Amino acid sequence: MALKPNLFAAMILFNSMLQKYWKVFDIGLQNTFVYRWNFLLRSLFGLVPLAGTVFIWRAIFAGTKTTVGTYDYPSMIWYFLLVIMVDNLVTPTEDEWQIAADIREGQISAFLIKPLNYLAYRFSLFVSYRLVYTFITLVPVGLAFYWFRTYIVLPASLVTWPLFFLSTAMAAGISFLISYTLALAAFWILEISTIVFILYSFEYFLSGQTFPLDIMPAWFQAILVWLPFPYELFFPVQVFLERVQGPELWRGLAIQAGWVVILFLLARRVWQRGIQHYQAVGG
C-alpha cells in the first residue's frame, strides 16, 4: 500500500520538473526570436560554403573521374545538402561562449542555490535554439533543396526514416555534450577560445562536413568509427542515404548511443570537479 503514495509523489515531482524545464525552454524561444534576423543572415551566409563545395566537386568530376569512392556528382551534392540539413538540427550555436560567460562572470552561483540542474537547463535552451534556428532557416535551405531537386533520392525503406531521426537526435546529444563539457573548462582557465577552435577544427574535418569520410583510406575509417566526431554529421547522413545497413547500421547506432552515455557521464563528472574548484576559490 505504501507504493501508491510514493508513486503519486514521484509523479508530482516529475510533473514539476517538466513544468520547470518547459518554462526554461519557453524563455529560450523568446530570447532566440529577439535575434531572428541574426539567425536568418547566418543561415543565408551558411549556404556560401555549399556553393563553394558545388564548384569544387563540379571541377573534380569534370575531369577524368566519373566517381570519387562510391560517389558520383549527383550523390555528392545530395550528400552535402543533407549535411547542411543535419548541421542545422544538431550543431550548438554559441552555447560554449554562454556557458563560459556564466562561469567567468559568477552567474553560475545562482544555479547552486536553486533546485535547477544546470545541464538540464542548458539542454533546454539548446533545444529551443535549434528549434527556432531550424524554423528560420527553412526558407534558404528549402530553396537550396529545390535548386538541386534533381539530385534528391529519398530512402527506399520506410524504416530508414525513424532510424534517421533517432540517429540525428543522438547526434544532437553528442554535439551538445561535447560543447557543454568543453565550456566547463572555464572553471579552470579564463579564456577557452583556443580550446574551442581546436575542437572546431577536429569536428570540421572528422564529422564529414568537409568531405564524405568513406572516401578516406580503410585504415583511417577504422580509427574514425570509434571516435565521436563522425556520429555528429556523417553517420546520420549515411543512415538517410541507406549506405549503412544490417549489422553495420546497428553497430553504428550502438556506438553512437554509447558516446551519448559516455559524454553525459563525463559532463557530470567535470561539472562536479568544476564546482568543487569554483567553491574552493571563493566563487
Residue pair 53/82 in contact (Cβ under 8 Å)? The answer is no
CB count in 10 Å sphere of residue 51: 10
SS3 of 74-90: HHHHHHHHHHHHHHHHH
CB count in 10 Å sphere of residue 96: 24
Report the amino acid identity of residue 36: R
The dihedral sign for the CA sequence 67, 68, 70, 73: negative
At 9 the pLDDT is 45
What secondary structure does DSSP assign to 206-237, as a single string? HSSSSS-GGGS-HHHHHHHTTSSGGGTTHHHH
At 126 the pLDDT is 85
The CA-to-CA distance between both ends of the chain, in Å, stands at 46
Residue listed under C-alpha cell 549503412: 244
SS3 76: helix
Q: What is the pLDDT along the chain (283 residues), one digit of tens a residue?
A: 444 555 444 445 445 555 555 555 555 555 655 555 666 666 666 666 666 777 777 777 776 667 777 888 888 889 988 998 898 888 877 778 888 888 888 888 877 777 778 888 888 888 878 777 777 777 777 888 888 889 889 998 999 999 999 999 999 999 999 999 999 998 888 888 888 888 888 888 899 888 899 888 889 999 999 999 999 999 999 999 999 999 999 999 999 999 999 999 999 999 999 988 776 655 5
SS3 68: strand
- The contacts of residue 54 (CB under 8 Å, 6+ apart) are 77, 80
C-alpha cell, 12: 508530482
Reference 155, options 223, 104, 82; nearest CA is 82
At 89 the pLDDT is 84
C-alpha cell, 240: 538517410
SS3 253: helix
DSSP 233: T
SS3 of 87-127: HHHHCCCCHHHHHHHHHHCCCCHHHHCCCCCHHHHHHHHHH
SS3 245: coil
Quote the CA–CA distance of 206 and 199 in Å, as a whole number: 10
pTM of the model: 0.83
